[in-house]
Structure 1
Amino acid sequence: MSPRVRRPLLALAAAVLVLLGLVRPAAAHGFTSTVYAHVTSVGDSSLRTELKLEYDLLVVSAADAGSNDPLFRTGTDAFEAGDADAQAAALNAHRTTAVGYVTERLAVTAGGAACEPAPAGTFRMGEEEGVPYALLALDWACPEQHTPGQYEIRSGLFPDSEGYVTGTKTIATYAVDGRTGSAALDAGHPSFSIGQSWPERFWGFFRLGAEHLLTGTDHILFLLALIAGSRRTREVVLAATAFTLAHSVTFMLAALGLVDVPADLVEPVIALSIAVVAGWHLWRIRGRGTDATELRAREGNAGLRAPEGDRGGLDRAGWIRLGVVFGFGLVHGLGFADALGIEAAWSWTLLWSLLVFNIGIEAVQLAVIAVLFPLLLLLRRRSERAALWATGALSAGVAVMGLIWFVQRVTES
């Protein structure tokens, strides 16, 4: 292989390996949890945090499961019975243990001084995405002498070290001292200030969206399949645009609670979409052969010029592929919404948070395309055959992973 071909091929391979090295090796949406917190003022120097906590996770985390703890025993029995009243009764019967777990890992300060928590009422039960959630309100008595807006909330609930879930997020909304807003917390960014500026709020949800795409193996593989199967800049731009428009629509509708599709259906279809889009490129290779001269004649000047007469720079197969990408993008949007998981009444604050989260997803998606696709075009200019083998091998690997995940998710659902 000549150096003219070897250099872009190695650069493309290195870029793909680096990208895959950033994502988690397991299925993208594994065992994670989201805590919801709504913070409001109570009097002149107190706050109330209204928390929603995944019930079975709270039971196993707060109890000592290894010693037949009474909270673990009664709470687990109530969970397996699916009895919401029994679940609330189990938590209230062992209220000291359950509340103690929460207040050890959730903290509020005012002007740097700690606020003292006290339960406001009993545990109640609710539901998020079909999963039982425990509802707990805490009143925090804070020092009277502090500047409005100097409240800070820190969450370390359900950390990775406990071994039950990974990557717990706390989605907080607040209306305190005339300030309203939202924040996204995780292990890397465990706290926020009520007085945070709008760039700080923007960065929190932008980062959450960017990290979700980068750490979502299935979404990254879908994007790689789109890039590998696109031969012209216009084609990959149209595919990325169709995917963006589609997942933005369902993402917003699902996150606002207007569309509700079970994860047991969404996750297998996402896996299938990876296999289909990657397999589409393999089918095109098989249908057109491996002769580089034939491919140039069909697709025009190393893939940069659209064949004459094609509408929008795409042939019939290209438009069909675009429709398939759009359809699967609708399903991926439901997966993105599950990652954010905001459940609240309509508000401009909520809409702003959803939009910024989506911008974070799009920024990473465009960055990946901007890095990988020019390398692929360069390789095609140097050697059409080498590019064909490279994209074929990549698509084959992606298709196999998609099919494996599809079977796993169907059998586990």
Structure 2
Amino acid sequence: MFNNNNNWLSRLGLLLLLSLVAVNALAHGVDDSTRSFLQQHSGIQFVPFLYIGAKHMLTGYDHLLFLVGVIFFLYRSRDVLLYVTMFTLGHSITLLWGVLGNIQVNAHLIDAIIGLSVVYKGFDNLGGFKQLLGRQPNTRSAVLIFGLFHGFGLATKLQEFQLPEHELLTNLLAFNIGVEFGQFAALAFILIAINFWRRLPSFERFATLTNTLLMSAGLMLMGYQLTGFTLQ
């Protein structure tokens, strides 16, 4: 009976992961109501931008898949905090720099690199680099570097709307704070789920499959975005 429950929970986790990927391919981006708000309002809009930032992170499945890979084998709270801080630092820098400095990058290419980050973390979790290169790349540096690309991905979404420069910095800070709220809310749920799963015998058995699915999800995201770039 207990084994049946373990198998059911494992299958449910895998189904949720696949659902995230499917929804991402169809819905990732800025919805029409958010688009309308950003285009029609000017001046300081701290609370709305806070909400939009949190909403975007909670529906930014590529970001969440990467974070799942980052924390999948982290067992100590100190390590989780360290790696999430590296990611946060990276995407905060390029989000602000990209919009305020009007750094123009192709959204499809950036999102393809974000998909690559998911592939990278899944491959890293599977020990692929140790087998291929004989050593593991510096994981902290990788999380920081990919965090920079994730920040550019967030920046490209805002740049589409040519936001008025008046009080832009304040609104961007509110958006970034919202992103952090959304990120930590998502992480809280993910950590609870993973920590519960770790207590079950099925965790080790399905860890390889889960990270293989992460790689597959990243490859799907890369293909989706590179196709969009080619057809652009």
TM-score by length of 1: 0.46
For the Cα contact (< 8 Å) 1:206–1:360, is it kept in 2?
yes
State whether structure 2 residue 37 is matched by structure 1 residue 170. yes
State whether structure 2 residue 149 is matched by structure 1 residue 328. no
> How many Å apart are 1:222 and its aligned residue?
1.5
SS in 2 for 1:170: helix
State whether structure 2 residue 191 is matched by structure 1 residue 373. yes
Q: Which one has the bigger strand percentage?
A: 1
Equivalent of residue 226 in structure 1, options 70, 73, 76: 70
State whether structure 2 residue 22 is matched by structure 1 residue 26. no
State whether structure 2 residue 180 is matched by structure 1 residue 362. yes
Number of the residue aligned with 1:10: 9
> How many Å apart are 1:26 and its aligned residue?
1.8
Counterparts of 1:124-163 in structure 2 under 5 Å? none
SS in 2 for 1:362: helix
Number of the residue aligned with 2:205: 389
> How many Å apart are 1:253 and its aligned residue?
0.7
Counterparts of 2:146 and 2:227 in 1: how far apart (Å)? 21
Number of the residue aligned with 1:244: 88
For the Cα contact (< 8 Å) 2:126–2:211, is it kept in 1?
yes
SS in 2 for 1:168: helix
> How many Å apart are 1:23 and its aligned residue?
8.3
SS in 1 for 2:37: strand
Counterparts of 1:396 and 1:239 in 2: how far apart (Å)? 21
SS in 2 for 1:231: coil
Counterparts of 1:234 and 1:222 in 2: how far apart (Å)? 19
What per-residue deviation string (whole Å, max 9, x for no partner) do you get for residues 135-177 of structure 1? xxxxxxxxxxxxxxxxxxxxxxxx6xxxxxx963431444xxx
Counterparts of 1:4-403 in structure 2 under 5 Å? 6=6, 10=9, 13=12, 17=16, 24-26=23-25, 29=28, 168-171=35-38, 172-174=40-42, 181-182=43-44, 201-283=45-127, 317=136, 320-341=138-159, 343=162, 347=166, 349-380=167-198, 382-383=199-200, 386-403=202-219
What per-residue deviation string (whole Å, max 9, x for no partner) do you get for residues 163-201 of structure 1? xxx963431444xxxxxx24xxxxxxxxxxxxxxxxxx4
What per-residue deviation string (whole Å, max 9, x for no partner) do you get for residues 331-385 of structure 1? 11011112223645755x21111111111111121122222224423443x35x5
SS in 2 for 1:24: helix
In structure 2, relative to structure 1, the CA distance for the partners of 1:323 and 1:270 (3 Å cut) is same
In structure 2, relative to structure 1, the CA distance for the partners of 1:20 and 1:235 (3 Å cut) is farther
Counterparts of 2:84 and 2:11 in 1: how far apart (Å)? 19
Counterparts of 2:80 and 2:15 in 1: how far apart (Å)? 17
In structure 2, relative to structure 1, the CA distance for the partners of 1:237 and 1:15 (3 Å cut) is farther
What per-residue deviation string (whole Å, max 9, x for no partner) do you get for residues 257-288 of structure 1? 3422222421211111111112211126986x
* RMSD (Å), alpha carbons: 3.6
Query: Which residue identity is paired with 1:204?
Result: P
Query: Which residue identity is paired with 1:237?
Result: L
> How many Å apart are 1:245 and its aligned residue?
0.4
Query: Which residue identity is paired with 1:393?
Result: L
- Give the gaps of 5 or more residues in structure 2: none
TM-score by length of 2: 0.78
Counterparts of 2:181 and 2:67 in 1: how far apart (Å)? 13
For the Cα contact (< 8 Å) 2:21–2:61, is it kept in 1?
no
For the Cα contact (< 8 Å) 1:256–1:343, is it kept in 2?
no
Counterparts of 2:195 and 2:185 in 1: how far apart (Å)? 16
In structure 2, relative to structure 1, the CA distance for the partners of 1:378 and 1:19 (3 Å cut) is same
For the Cα contact (< 8 Å) 1:27–1:405, is it kept in 2?
no
What is the count of residue pairs matched by the alignment? 223
Query: Which residue identity is paired with 1:6?
Result: N
Amino-acid identity (%)? 31
Number of the residue aligned with 1:64: none
In structure 2, relative to structure 1, the CA distance for the partners of 1:354 and 1:221 (3 Å cut) is same
Query: Which residue identity is paired with 1:369?
Result: L
- Structure of greater Rg: 1
For the Cα contact (< 8 Å) 1:250–1:259, is it kept in 2?
no
By relative contact order (CA 8 Å, sep 6+), the higher-ranking structure is 2
What per-residue deviation string (whole Å, max 9, x for no partner) do you get for residues 80-113 of structure 1? xxxxxxxxxxxxxxxxxxxxxxxxxxxxxxxxxx
Counterparts of 2:41 and 2:57 in 1: how far apart (Å)? 23
Query: Which residue identity is paired with 2:70?
Result: L
For the Cα contact (< 8 Å) 2:10–2:202, is it kept in 1?
no
Counterparts of 2:129 and 2:206 in 1: how far apart (Å)? 12
